[in-house]
Amino acid sequence: MSYDLQTAEKAAYAPFFGYMGAASAQIFTVLGAAYGTAKSAVGICSMGVMRPELIMKSVIPVIMAGIIGIWEGSTRQPGIHP
């Protein structure tokens, strides 16, 4: 079986794998941001009980986790051309 570049470029399933890769990147990024938000929420709750004056400093991880999800979505979208 020989490898033909023109046949490989015309594969009907290539766009499927391209879109699945882009979708999985978005899904795993948002899941990671949600996990980071949940873990930092536990820390914020314990911080509020032990040292209430430091609550505003502990909100920064939640903001950064949200920024990760928004940033990934905004950088990925312009590169998709059906």
Here the contacts of 49-57 (C-beta below 8 Å, separation 24 or greater) are none
Q: How far apart are CA 75 and CA 82, in angstroms?
A: 17
Residue range 4-26, pLDDT digits in tens: 656 666 677 878 888 898 889 88
Each domain of the chain, given as residue ranges in start order, spans 26-77
- Tell whether pTM > 0.75: no
Grade residue 3 by pLDDT with cuts at 50, 70 and 90.
low
Q: How far apart are CA 62 and CA 55, in angstroms?
A: 12
Residue range 26-78, pLDDT digits in tens: 889 888 888 888 888 898 888 889 998 888 888 887 888 778 777 776 776 66
